Amino acid sequence: MDIYSSTANELFRRCQPENVDFLMKIAKSQNMPELEKVCKKIFNLQTYAVLESWLLFDDSDYDFEDEIVKEFFSVNHLHIVSEFDLYVILETLVEAKCLKGWVKSLKEIRFQAMDTREVLDCKLLRDSQKCAIIANIDALIHREDPKIPMPEGFSTTFRNRNPTNERGRFMLWIMILLKCPNYDKNLDRFNDIFCLTQCQRCRLKFSTQKARTTCPKHLYEKADEIYGKIYPHF
């Protein structure tokens, strides 16, 4: 076996949710299409696990790249409940100043699969883009031709990719609350998305505020602990 094949096989073996972004960079820079396929397969099957790993970053030592995130967001079938989850991850990385550019990734999000309230909440979109997207959503609802085209280069797909894994979504959103720069805004979003009792909301707020200083490498364990406090029967 030559060195290239041996190296490629080792990279395939090591491909996991926590390093798939790094390996995708290698695949793109070294022209390794098979490794690229493996990375996208991981993102397809373990979407929330990959997104959660992106929140484990240390602000000082890692930068995400728009071109790489775009490749993941372009995967057709994902184990994800809502396109809004992809958007909020992107927004969190942008606000944390650890993403080099974001326009290409933004255009891969299927905004037509969101509801209008979610679109209006997407601050990375310009007002003109929001108007165009909402006009297209309204046209889909009424089975009419849209009066305004989608913003140039944006995804025109309106189907959800694969609405599954509610627990994975809940865990992702807890980790967003632990890591995001804008806590209050995302807490409001969390409460809009998930139907929690008043008691559960109080536990969530108390636990996440207290845990926001958690070391990145312990973030998943802390999120799992908070999940257990909100749903103690699981």
Per residue in 108-164, pLDDT (tens digit) is 999 999 999 999 999 999 999 999 999 999 999 988 888 899 999 999 998 888 767
What would the pLDDT profile of 65-77 be if each residue is shown by its tens digit? 999 999 999 999 8
Greater model confidence, 1 or 169: 169
Tokens representing residue 55 in the block: 């929140």
Confidence label for 234 from pLDDT (cuts 50, 70 and 90) = very low
Confidence at residue 60, expressed as pLDDT on a 0 to 100 scale:
56
C-alpha 52: how far from chain center? 8
Parse the chain into domains and list their residue ranges.
Answer: 3-110+160-230
Q: What is the DSSP letter of 99?
A: E
Could you tell me if 108 and 155 are in contact, meaning their C-beta atoms sit under 8 angstroms apart? yes
What would the pLDDT profile of 174-188 be if each residue is shown by its tens digit? 999 999 999 999 999
d(CA 21, CA 100): 14
Please spell the DSSP secondary structure of 179-220, one letter per residue.
H-S-HHHHHHHHHHHS---HHHHHHHHHHHHHHTT--GGGHH
pLDDT for 33 beyond 80: yes
Could you tell me if 96 and 185 are in contact, meaning their C-beta atoms sit under 8 angstroms apart? no
Tokens representing residue 194 in the block: 């998930």
d(CA 20, CA 42): 7
C-beta neighbour count of 28 within 10 angstroms:
17
Mean of all residue pLDDT scores within the chain: 90
The least confident of 54-63, 79-88, 125-134 is 54-63
Which range in 9-13, 33-37, 88-92, 163-167 is most confidently predicted, on average pLDDT?
88-92
Please spell the DSSP secondary structure of 51-80, one letter per residue.
HHHHTT--TTT--EEHHHHHHHHT-S--SB
Greater model confidence, 56 or 206: 206
SS (H, E, C) 113-170: HCCHHHHHCCCCCCHHHHHHHHHHHHHHHCCCCCCCCCCCCCCCCCCCCECCCHHHHH
The least confident of 18-27, 168-177, 178-187, 216-225 is 216-225
pTM of the full predicted structure? 0.87
Classify the phi-psi angles of 143: left when phi > 0, otherwise alpha if psi is within -120 to 50, otherwise beta. left
